[in-house]
């Protein structure tokens, strides 16, 4: 087996996996906060809609959601998707799925804050927005970092699910090489790539937790 070819192919797939990872976090983290606010809304309709959204996205397999986002437009609505839609469908599927998980993490963190902090902020003359951004949010970030870290690490491994709609990420590359070479070594190499990626992210998240350690 030509290891140089293997590493080049896996590196190309790794770049796609990193793209999926970064874009998913970039859009799902703010969307999750928006959904969390909807989940805590006093408006019954908004609250129930977001509750159903979270329930469906957390209660069905991500692989099924990816297939629905990719094949749904054509088989359900008869709409032909553009050539580059495969990758876009992957990002949409991942973002919608992870936003539901992040929403519940945000909600748990926000609702765990003592009511007294809101009252004290109001006495000091802070409005609701100032209270949330300057007082509540930093403490919430500190509290939710461990569960967010777990989801981020899971996301790294979940990028391999993009193979179901033939997106050329790292697992897809390893699978193709393993099939052509009739060897399991590409899977071992891919596993090492995933581990290193996970290790780097875990170290970065640990550093971030330490930066927020002064919020006790």
Q: What are phi and psi of 113, to 5 degrees?
A: -75, 135
**d(C-alpha 28, C-alpha 36), whole Å:** 12
**d(C-alpha 151, C-alpha 213), whole Å:** 20
> CATH number for the domain including 58?
1.10.3720.10
Specify the pTM. 0.88
In a domain, 184, yes or no: yes
Q: What per-residue confidence (pLDDT) applies to 76? A: 86
Q: What per-residue confidence (pLDDT) applies to 125? A: 80
In a domain, 216, yes or no: no
In a domain, 52, yes or no: yes
Contact 171, 92 (CB under 8 A): no
In a domain, 182, yes or no: yes
Q: Which has more confidence, 175 or 72? A: 72
> Within 13 Å of residue 1, how many CA atoms lie on the same side as its CB?
16
- Whether pLDDT at 127 is above 60: yes
- Whether pLDDT at 14 is above 80: yes
In a domain, 158, yes or no: yes
Contact 36, 103 (CB under 8 A): yes
Domains contained in the chain, number: 1
Which residues neighbour 145 within 8 Å (Cβ) at sequence distance 6 or greater? 205, 208, 209, 212
- Whether pLDDT at 3 is above 70: no
Q: Mean pLDDT of all residues in the chain?
A: 87
Which residues neighbour 29 within 8 Å (Cβ) at sequence distance 6 or greater? 102
Q: What is the mean pLDDT of residues 172-195?
A: 81
- Whether pLDDT at 199 is above 60: yes
In a domain, 93, yes or no: yes
In a domain, 205, yes or no: yes
Full domain range(s) for residue 121:
3-211
Q: Which has more confidence, 129 or 151? A: 151
* Span 64-119, pLDDT tens digits: 999 999 999 888 888 888 888 999 999 999 999 999 999 999 999 888 888 777 77
Q: What tokens were used for 93?
A: 């599927």
In a domain, 133, yes or no: yes
Computed on alpha carbons and rounded to an integer, the radius of gyration of the chain in Å comes to 21
Q: What per-residue confidence (pLDDT) applies to 5? A: 65
């Amino acid at each position: 087996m030509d290891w140089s070819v293997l590493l080049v192919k896996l590196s190309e797939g790794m770049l796609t996996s990193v793209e999926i990872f970064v874009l998913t976090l970039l859009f799902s983290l703010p969307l999750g906060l928006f959904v969390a606010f909807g989940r805590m809304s006093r408006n019954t309709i908004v609250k129930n809609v977001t509750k159903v959204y979270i329930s469906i996205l957390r209660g069905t397999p991500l692989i099924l959601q990816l297939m629905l986002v990719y094949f749904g437009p054509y088989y359900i609505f008869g709409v032909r998707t553009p050539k580059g839609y495969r990758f876009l469908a992957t990002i949409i599927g991942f973002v919608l799925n992870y936003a539901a998980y992040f929403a519940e993490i945000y909600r748990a963190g926000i609702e765990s804050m003592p009511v007294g902090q809101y009252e004290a902020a109001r006495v000091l003359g802070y409005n609701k927005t100032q209270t949330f951004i300057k007082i509540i949010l930093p403490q919430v970030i500190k509290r939710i970092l461990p569960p967010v870290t777990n989801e981020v690490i899971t996301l790294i491994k979940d990028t391999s699910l993009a193979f179901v709609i033939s997106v050329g990420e790292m697992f897809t590359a390893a699978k193709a090489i393993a099939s052509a070479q009739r060897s399991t070594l590409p899977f071992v190499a891919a596993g090492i790539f995933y581990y290193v990626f996970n290790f780097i992210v875990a170290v970065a998240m640990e550093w971030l937790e330490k930066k927020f350690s002064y919020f006790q």
